[in-house]
Chain A
């Protein structure tokens, strides 16, 4: 199934879950954003980060403590 077809199903359903209304123009924006962001989001989800510890509250003014 093409991403645009998936979006046709996903977007109205997801908005409905949250009870969020959107007019036609907003829906067009949401579809465009989804088509741009969703493929890289899927790649991100597929990325193997198993060996990477999550830095909790990282001090972003400093390098990471362990290298």
Chain B
């Protein structure tokens, strides 16, 4: 009997249900795989074999019965408080049943480890963490993306077939793009969120799945949503391409791969492509950062800021203190920009079904210096990435990153966004792209795992 270790998420679930894979053997094999590969990736910051075995022993025969899952260090577990990738997270954190944990448990899944993340969720790169950075399985010297760095590296490194991340300003989609995965940022409020330390105040953060392909995301997100995300085959898809820097100030190879995938989607669905102007985008991007920052300050006092844990990174300490200095009027104005952006999108989604743009404008940068070269010059990866990642969090719409190519041996991701509640359509569109390219990019394997290097 196969251990099922290298099967996809839905294949693991099906093989266990059919009696072809023993879930206990799969769990032990997964723990062994983590022990073997994690020293290179630092994707998983803690395992708890006895807890995992207990979960399996008590697991109901749900849709993920016996399937091992990694969960980001942003969600509490009954036996472990989240640390938010930081020496000090400036919020109360205790062990407990978070919504994603409960959803996984009730579906029969087995939480096998906690995924690394960027310190305080504050970057798209994943290069800073109290545990040390996670590494990109495609090139361990490159950023895995953030802030859901560990969940992405866990799946791309084939430690597990599925992981749960969180996305407050692109934090599922950036690592999905950097690591060659599919990652869905759900419509706000649609996926399990309770138990998150910011659940009461955040208007941008959602939980969501990171998996190899859209079919696996559909299964894991169905569990997180608490409802089945039905599959369809969209016809006549109206694809809007967002004009401006988000599509134009992009590394040439990334642009080429994304344009090719958009054309694939058009042909596969018999649809049409049109350019969409979204002049609100630049202001919306800043508004997202301001709102997310102000919400993250919560009950922080100047006294706390003067007594920060010295193990917190200097960057993290400085940024926390800077956030206090941003004038309240700017955050109020950001609220109005949110309304403008939501109204603009409501109009746009009467004309198109999805909005497309590169998830990130360049492939994963070096961990040591996370900057990217774009036609406009060099930018920090965070400055560049937030252009495409923020809008969905500001407005509440769903967004997905789909692997569509490679450059420098590293994956390229295309982002698709849809109207509120149309998460299923994004999964359908991702599957249409997979069909069009023969599943080339979702089945690609990092060279560190013994595969040939990616070629565009």
- A residues sitting closer than 8 Å to B (CB atoms) are 10-11, 14-15, 18-22, 25-30, 32-34, 36-37, 40-41, 43-45, 47, 49, 52-55, 58-64, 67
Contacts and interface: CB of A to CB of B under 8 A. Distances in A.
B337 A20 contact: no
A43 B329 CA distance: 13
Interface string B305-336: 11000000011011101101111011011111
Which 8 pairs of residues, A with B, have the shortest CB-CB distance? A29-B318, A60-B396, A60-B188, A49-B336, A61-B189, A26-B318, A63-B346, A25-B314
B47 interface: no
A20 B338 contact: no
A55 B188 CA distance: 16
Interface size class of B (residues with CB under 8 A): 35 or more
Contacts of A30: 318-319, 321-322, 325
A58 B339 contact: yes
Contacts of A64: 339, 342-343, 346
Given A44-B333, A61-B421, A64-B342, A15 B325 contact: yes
Interface of B: 187-190, 203, 282-283, 286-287, 289-290, 302, 305-306, 314-315, 317-319, 321-322, 324-327, 329-330, 332-340, 342-343, 345-347, 349, 383, 395-396, 419-421
A44 B302 contact: no
A58 B326 contact: no
Given A36-B383, A58-B342, A49 B326 contact: no
B169 to A, nearest CB: 14
Given A29-B314, A30-B318, A60 B203 contact: yes
B204 to A, nearest CB: 8
B318 A54 contact: no
Contacts of A22: 318, 321
Nearest to B314: A25
Contacts of B203: 58, 60
B335 A54 contact: yes
Contacts of B332: 54
Given A25-B314, A61-B420, A63-B420, A49 B333 contact: yes
B302 A45 contact: no
Contacts of B340: 49, 52
A20 B305 contact: yes
Given A29-B319, A54-B332, A63-B349, 19 more contacts: A18-B324, A19-B306, A22-B318, A28-B318, A29-B322, A34-B325, A37-B286, A37-B289, A41-B290, A41-B330, A44-B334, A47-B337, A49-B336, A52-B343, A58-B339, A61-B187, A61-B188, A61-B420, A63-B420
